[in-house]
A and B are shown apart, each in its own frame.
Chain A
Amino acid sequence: MEQILKRIKEKIEIEPVTKQKSDLYFITVAKEHIELILSYLKDYEGFTHLAFLQAVDYLEDNKFQLTYMLYNYNIKVNLGIKVFINREKSEMTSIHKLWSHAWQYQRELHELFGIDFPDSPRVHESFVLEGWEEIPPMRRDFDTLEYSERTYYKRPGRSTNDPQKYMKEKLYKNYVEAPKIRRDND
C-alpha cells in the first residue's frame, strides 16, 4: 500500500494521507483530478470495487466533502478518496462511465444534498422524496423541527405528562419485577 501511495504521489498532490486502520486509508485530492485518479486506481492499481460515494456537509467552511470508497481485492485494502467542493452551486464530475452503479449514488446526492452531476443518467429523477420543494433535506441548514411544525398540525385532545410520574402511576401500577436470570459471572 505504501508503494501505491508513493506512485500516486509522483503523479498528483494527495496530502494529507491518513491511515485509520491497517486496511483503511484516506487521501485528499483536488476536484479536477478526480476522474484521473479514479480511473488510474481502477485500471492500474486494482482498486476495482466502488463501495460507496457519499457527501459530508461542512456548513461552517461552506464546503461539501465527497468520499469515494474503493476496495482492492488483491491487497485487501479500502481507500477513501476525499474531495472538497464548493457548497454553493455545487457541481461534480460524474463517474457513471467508470462504474455502472455510480449513477445511483449521484441521484441520491442530487436529491438529498443538492449536488449536481451533469450528464449522469437519471440524476434528476426522484429517489426517496416525491414532490419535495424545500431545500435538500440532508444539508445541515435544513431545520427539521421548523419543517414539521410548519407542515403538520398538532392533534387536538393531547395532553403532556411528566413521563416518569405518568409511567409509574398509569402503566406500571401492577408492575412485578421479572425473575432474575442467572448469568456466568454472577
Chain B
Amino acid sequence: MIKNSESKYKDYIADRSKYPKMENGKPIFDLESHKYTKIWQGPQHPGVTGNMSLEIVINGDEVIDCKTHVGYLHRGFEKLMERRKYIQCFPIVCRICVPEPDTNEYCVSAAMEDLAGIVVPEKAQWLRTLNLEMSRLASFLMWTGGQAGSLGMGTIGQWTIGMRDFWLDLFEEMTGGRVYHMYMIPGGVRKNLPIGFKDRARKLIIRTRKLLQDIENSFLNNAIVKSRLQSLGIITPEMIDEYGIVGPNARGSGREYDVRQNNPYVKYAELDMKMITSTVGDAFARAQIRYQETHQSLDLISQILDKIPEKGEIQAKLPNVLHWKIPAGQTYIKAESTRGEHGFYMVSDGSEYPRRVFARGASYTHAIAVLEKLIVNTSISDIAALMVSLHTCPPEIER
C-alpha cells in the first residue's frame, strides 16, 4: 500500500490529519476540547428551506456533525381533523404545503371517495389531472429559483417566480384562488374551465419553454453551478431503500419510481410520458432531472388540454355532506408531488368524523435522516445548496 506522502499525487491529497476520525460515516469528536465550534443555522436563515434549524458542529468551514430541529411550524392538522366532519377536513389540508397544495387536496378527496365508494366522473378526472400537473409545474419553477438562489444567482429566482405568477393567474381563473385552490372537492371538482382558458394556457406554455431555455443556458450550463453542485450530496443506490428516499432524489440515483407511472392515478395512465432517471446521484444530477421534469410537466399539460372532453359532469352525487357518514375502513392514497411520494392514510370508524388522518410527506425522511447523513464533510457554504437539492419542505414533517 502506498502511503499518502509517497504517492505521486501527494500534492493533490488534502491533509486531513487535523480532522476528527470517522467511524461508520460519523466523526468522533469531543466538543469540550475547544477545537470545534457549534453553530445554529435557522430557524430564521435565508439558507434554510422553510422553518427548521440545523445544529451543526464545524471544524474550520467543514461540517462534521449535524442535528436537525423541527417544531417551529407545528399547526396540528392531524389533531384538528379528528374533531372535524369530513367535508370540514377538506379546506384544511391544502395548508400543509404552500408551494404545492393540490396534492394534499387530491389525496384527501380520493381517500374519502375510496372509503365511501364514490366514482368520480370522467371530465372531473381530467380537470384534476390538469390541476395536479399545473401545481407540479409551479412548484418546480419555485424550486429552480431556490436552487439558483442558494448559489447566489438571485436573478434566476426572479425570472422563475415571475413565471410562476403567470401560472397562478391561470389557477385563479380556473379555481378562484391563487395559492390555495380547494378545487378538488370529494366527488369531483368545483368548477368547469373558463372560456378561452385552453388558448391562454397554450400561449403560456410557449412562454415558459422560452424561459426554460434561458435557464438551461445560464444555470445548468454554468461552470460555477457545475463545480458547486457536482459531487455534492451523493445518494448511493443502497441508500434509497435504507432511508426510504423517493421522488427525483431516488430517480437521480437510478431508481425507477414515479407514482404517476408505477401506480397511475386520475388520468396519468392515458398520457404519454417517460421515466426520467440518472445514475450519477449528486445534486447536479437531481437538478438536471428536475429541469427535464419541468419540460415533461409542460408536455403533459399540453396533452391534457387536448384530451379534456368538452361536455360532461364534473361532480358526482354526494350525500348531505354535513351529515356524511363514511363506512369503517382504512386506505392509503398516494400521489407524486415534486418531492416524491406524497400520501394520505385515512382511517374511518363509521362515524361522521375521521378516526385518524396521517399525511406522509417525502421530506419526512429527506430533511432529517438523509440530510443528517449527507451533510457530514460538506462545506458550510454548501448547506443551503444541499438542502434545496433534496427539496426539503418542513411543513410536511410537522403537519
- A: which residues have CB within 8 A of B? 18, 20-21, 23-24, 26, 48-52, 54, 56-57, 65, 67, 69, 73, 76, 78, 80, 99-101, 103-104, 126-130, 137-138, 140, 144, 181-186
What is the minimal beta-carbon distance from B379 to any residue of chain A, in angstroms? 24
Partner of A140, one of B82, B241, B314: B82
Binding-face segment, B179-187, B202-210, B329-337: B329-337
Which residue of B is nearest A82, CB measured?
B330
Q: Is the CB of A20 within 8 A of B114?
A: yes
Q: Is the CB of A51 within 8 A of B343?
A: yes
Contact of A104 with B368 at beta-carbon distance under 8 Å, contacts A21-B331, A69-B345 already known: yes
A-side contacts of B192, CB under 8 Å: 183-186
Q: Is the CB of B244 within 8 A of A51?
A: yes
B-side contacts of A181, CB under 8 Å: 173, 194
What is the minimal beta-carbon distance from A180 to any residue of chain B, in angstroms? 11
- B: which residues have CB within 8 A of A? 70-71, 74, 76, 78-79, 82-83, 114, 173, 191-195, 241-244, 246, 255-257, 262-263, 310-311, 314, 329-332, 334, 341, 343, 345, 347, 355-356, 358, 360, 364-365, 368-370, 373, 398
What is the minimal beta-carbon distance from B326 to any residue of chain A, in angstroms? 14
Q: Is the CB of A183 within 8 A of B194?
A: yes
Partner of B244, one of A18, A99, A186: A99
Listed residue (B82, B332, B341) with the most chain A CB atoms within 10 angstroms of its CB: B332
Closest 9 CB pairs of A and B: A128-B71, A183-B192, A184-B192, A101-B369, A101-B365, A48-B241, A128-B74, A56-B356, A52-B360
B-side contacts of A26, CB under 8 Å: 330
Partner of A76, one of B70, B82, B262, B343: B262
Q: Is the CB of A80 within 8 A of B257?
A: no
Q: Is the CB of B241 within 8 A of A49?
A: yes
A-side contacts of B74, CB under 8 Å: 128-129
9 A-B residue pairs with CB within 8 Å? A18-B329, A20-B332, A51-B332, A52-B364, A56-B330, A129-B71, A138-B78, A184-B192, A184-B193
Q: Is the CB of B244 within 8 A of A49?
A: yes
Which residue of B is nearest A103, CB measured?
B369
A-side contacts of B329, CB under 8 Å: 18, 20
Q: Is the CB of B70 within 8 A of A127?
A: yes
Q: Is the CB of B114 within 8 A of A21?
A: yes
A-side contacts of B330, CB under 8 Å: 20, 26, 56, 67, 80
What is the minimal beta-carbon distance from B385 to any residue of chain A, in angstroms? 22
Known: A80-B332, A138-B79, A181-B194. 4 other contacts (CB 8 A): A49-B246, A51-B341, A69-B360, A184-B195
